Amino acid sequence: MISSSKRDELIVSKIRNGTVIDHIPAGRALAVLRILGIRGSEGYRVALVMNVESKKIGRKDIVKIEDRVIDEKEASLITLIAPSATINIIRDYVVTEKRHLEVPKQIRGLIKCPNPQCITNNDVEAESRFTTISIKPLKLKCEYCEIYITEDDVIRQIL
């Protein structure tokens, strides 16, 4: 899937079917793989490119996964750690769907409130709910206990 050209550029071959996640902020590709539950033993062909130049965001990571499509929950979690990412669905070597991710105004049930006293950590019926306060930098507020969490807190939960 990966080879070098005469000019020492990295070339990653096309995939027939699957998903390409592009414009991931540099250094976040491993967290994206964690969200997707990919550890390496599942049998998927995966190409991981890290810290390459990007006109859009300076430096970026790219993840290609053959024969795997990202579901909505996975896309929502990826959005929290890589709001600039795009998810491209590939079928027969052609991009058939391109999704530009956006951090939603409200996030429900995807992440946990770090406050041990929060109702969401003490009542099995209570689903976590966060309101997005800012995107750059990411700052979320628990709708129950009003504690704030950052992008680093979200990444710690994922990892």
Residues of each annotated binding site: 113, 118, 142, 145
Q: In what order do the strands lie in the sheet with 94-100?
A: 46-54, 58-66, 18-25, 86-91, 94-100
Give the residue from 75, 83, 81 showing the smallest Cα distance to 151.
81
Cα 135 to chain centroid distance, Å, stands at 14
Asked whether 120 and 89 are in contact (CB, 8 A), the reply is: no
Annotated binding site for Zn(2+): 113, 118, 142, 145
Give the residue from 36, 146, 15 showing the smallest Cα distance to 81.
36
